[in-house]
Amino acid sequence: MACSVSTLMARSQERMDSLRVPVATWPMAFWTSHRGISASSWGSRLPILQGSTFGFVAPSLAMLSLPSWKCPEWTLNASQVNVSSPEFTEEWQKRIRELQGAIMVASCIQILVGFSGLIGFLMRFIGPLTIAPTISLMALPLFDSVGNDAGIHWGISFMTIFLITLFSQFLKNIPVPVPVYGGEKKCHTSKFYLFQVFPVLLALCISWFICFVLTVTNTLPSSPIDNGYLARTDTKSNVLRQAPWFRIPYPGQWGRPTISLAGVFGIIAGVVSSMVESVGDYYACARLVGAPPPPKHAINRGIGIEGLGCLLAGAWGTGNGTTSFSENVGALGITKVGSRMVIVTAGFVLLLMGVFGKIGAVFATIPTPVIGGMFLVMFGIISAVGISSLQYVDMNSSRNLFVFGFSIYCGLTIPNWVKKNPEKLQTGILQLDQVIQVLLTTDMFVGGFLGFLLDNTIPGSLEERGILVWNQVQENSKETTLKSSEVYDFPWGIGTKFCTSSYIRVLPFWPRLDHSGKGEVGMSQLAHYSQASSRKHLSGAVETRM
C-alpha cells in the first residue's frame, strides 16, 4: 500500500480518536470559559464562537508533503503497523510538533496585525462591494461538500431542513405555555417562544432521534457500501468506546514544538485568509443581530484576540488554529438570538466536551445527512447576508455590477482551477509556492481582494459605491436602537468609566470616548430573551440585548 502523509495521519487517527475532542476544543474553551475571555466578551464584542479554521489545512498538508516528512518504509504496509508502538507514535507526534511551532509563530503575526491597528487602518478602504463577495464566498464554495453530506440520505436531510424551516419561520411566533413558580400568582403558566429560540436544536434532536430509531430497527442499510449507511447512529460507535471519561490536555503534550521556515510561511498564508474570513464574519454577525457595523477598535481587538486563540491552540497541539465560526453566524440568522451569554455558555459546553471525552464523543455520532441538512439552511443564509450588503450600493451602476459580478465569479472560478492544476503555479521557491497555493485556493480571499482592488481603483462617487450610507448607518428611533459604544466597548465600564487615561486611549484597540454623549446609532437592539419580552407577542425580528 502506498504511503503518504495523509495515509500516515489517517492511521494514527485511531489512536487520536480518544484524544480528538479534548485536544481540538479544550484550549479555546479554556480561553473562553475558564479565564472569561472570548471573542464575544473581550474581542469584537459580537456573539461569535471560535473554532478550527480550514485556512490552515492546505498549508499544513503542503508542509507535510515535503521530502523531509516522507513516510518511512516500514509504514508502507498498514496491516503490519502497530499503531500503539512508540515508534509509530513518534512518527505522527513529530509532525504535530512541527505544526505546533509553525502555528505559534504565525499567530504572533496575527496578534501584531490586530493590536497594532493595521487591520483597522485597512478598513477605511473597505465598503459594501468588498464585504458582499467576501461574506457570500464563505458559503457558496461549500455547496459541493454540503451536497455530499446531505446526499448520503436525502430523505433525512430534507426532514432536517423541513423541521428547521417549520420551527424558525412558520412557528416562530407561536408561544408555548410553560409552568412558572414565583411572583404574586405563585404557580402559573407563562408564554415561551420555544420554536424561535431553539429551532436548530429541536430539529437536530428530532432528526437525530429518528435516525436512532431507524438504526435500532435496522431500517437503514447496515453495509458500509450501501447508500445511506452513514445515516446510522452507530457508524462512529468506536469513537464513543475509545474516548476517555476524563482527561485534561496540557501545553506541550506531544513534546517541544519545532519550527521550520517553510511551515511558518505557509501557515502565515492561512492566517491572512483567516483574518479576511473573520472580518467578513464580524460584519455578517452584526447585520444578523441588528448591531451597528463594528468600529475599527473592535475589529482590531477581535483579530488580536483571535491571534491569541491561535497561539493557545498551537501550544496545546491541536494541529490547527482558530477563527470565527461561519456556521455559528448562520445559526444566528435562524435563531434570531444574538446573546453574548449564549456564547459564553457555549464556551462552558466546549470545556465540558473537552475535559469529559464521552460527552464530546456522543455528539460525534450525529449522522452526516443531519449535518448536511443544517448546513444547507445555514450556508444559504450566510450567502444571502453577504448579498444584502449591496442594498447600500447603486446597483443600477454598470461599474458596481462589474465589480461585484467579476469579484464573486472569480472567487468561485480561480480557486477551483488552482485546486485542479497546482503544478502550473510552481515558481521553484517552495515557500512562495505554498503562499500562492493557499491564497489562490481561498475563495473569500480571491473574491474579497478583487472587490477591494476594483472598488478602490475604478472611478466612482462615494454615494455610488455605497460608502456614504455604509458609514452613516440608518438611524432609528431611540427606543429601538443602541449606541455603538454600548455594543463594542469593554464590559464593566472599562475604558469609559475606568482606565480612561489619554495614554491608554491612544491604543488602536481601546474604546474611544464619545464626548458628544450621543454615540453611534445602530439599527436594532441586541438582547437575550427576558421575562418581559416573553410576555409580549413577537412579530418580525426579535429585539434582543447582548
CA distance 465 to 128: 8
Percent of the chain with pLDDT over 70: 75
For residue 474, what pLDDT band results from cuts at 50, 70 and 90?
very low
Average the pLDDT over 36-51 and give the result: 66
Domain coordinates in residue numbering, the chain: 5-468
pLDDT at 150: 93
Q: Which of 164-173, 347-356, 365-374, 465-474 has the lowest mean pLDDT?
A: 465-474
pLDDT at 20: 33
Residue 97 has pLDDT above 80, yes or no: yes
Tell me the range of 99-108, 190-199, 264-273, 394-403 where mean pLDDT is highest: 394-403
Residue 455 has pLDDT above 50, yes or no: yes
Q: Which three cell numbers stand for residue 97?
A: 510538533
CA distance 279 to 284: 9
CA distance 315 to 311: 6
Q: HSE of 230 in the Cβ direction (CA atoms, 13 Å)?
A: 16
For residue 343, what pLDDT band results from cuts at 50, 70 and 90?
confident
pLDDT at 167: 92
164 touches 419 (CB < 8 A): no
pLDDT at 249: 80
pLDDT at 414: 93
pLDDT at 18: 34
Residue 394 has pLDDT above 80, yes or no: yes
Using DSSP's 3-state secondary structure scheme, residue 539 falls into coil
For residue 496, what pLDDT band results from cuts at 50, 70 and 90?
low
Average the pLDDT over 445-455 and give the result: 90
pLDDT at 287: 78
- Look up the pTM and report it: 0.67
For residue 264, what pLDDT band results from cuts at 50, 70 and 90?
confident
CA distance 221 to 230: 9
Could you tell me how far CA 153 lies from the centroid of its own chain? Answer: 26
pLDDT digits (tens, 9 = 90+) for 113-143: 999 988 888 877 878 898 889 888 878 888 8
Q: How far is CA 454 from CA 403, 448, 462, 515, in A?
A: 6, 10, 14, 37
Sequence length of the chain is 546
pLDDT at 523: 33
pLDDT at 522: 35
Tell whether the torsion through CA atoms of 499, 505, 508 and 512 is positive or negative.
positive
Q: Which helix (H) or strand (E) holds 322?
A: strand 322-324
Q: Which three cell numbers stand for residue 24?
A: 481540538
Percent of the chain with pLDDT over 90: 19
Any idea what the Cα angle at residue 101 is, between residues 97 and 103, rounded to 5°? Answer: 110
Average the pLDDT over 367-383 and give the result: 90
Q: Which of 49-58, 192-201, 357-366 has the lowest mean pLDDT?
A: 49-58
pLDDT at 397: 94
331 touches 2 (CB < 8 A): no
pLDDT digits (tens, 9 = 90+) for 344-356: 887 787 777 778 8
Average the pLDDT over 522-542 and give the result: 36
- Could you write out the three-class secondary structure of 163-186? HHHHHHHHCCCCCEEEEEECCCCC
Q: Which of 26-35, 160-169, 204-213, 230-239 has the lowest mean pLDDT?
A: 26-35
pLDDT digits (tens, 9 = 90+) for 144-201: 888 999 999 999 999 999 999 999 899 988 888 888 776 666 777 778 888 887 888 8
Average the pLDDT over 81-87 and give the result: 72
For residue 242, what pLDDT band results from cuts at 50, 70 and 90?
confident
**Could you tell me which residues are beta bridge partners of residue 322?**
52
CA distance 129 to 413: 18
The DSSP bridge pattern shows strands 322-324 and 544-545 to be unpaired
Residue 490 has pLDDT above 80, yes or no: no
Residue 11 has pLDDT above 50, yes or no: no
pLDDT at 467: 83
Average pLDDT, the chain: 75
Residue 366 has pLDDT above 50, yes or no: yes
For residue 80, what pLDDT band results from cuts at 50, 70 and 90?
low
Between 291 and 19, the more confident residue is 291
CA distance 350 to 368: 21
Q: Which helix (H) or strand (E) holds 191?
A: strand 187-192
Q: Which of 90-99, 362-371, 398-407, 448-457 has the lowest mean pLDDT?
A: 90-99
Between 496 and 60, the more confident residue is 60
Q: HSE of 500 in the Cβ direction (CA atoms, 13 Å)?
A: 10
For residue 385, what pLDDT band results from cuts at 50, 70 and 90?
confident
Q: Which of 188-192, 194-198, 282-286, 503-507 has the lowest mean pLDDT?
A: 503-507
pLDDT at 484: 65
Q: Which helix (H) or strand (E) holds 188?
A: strand 187-192
528 touches 545 (CB < 8 A): yes
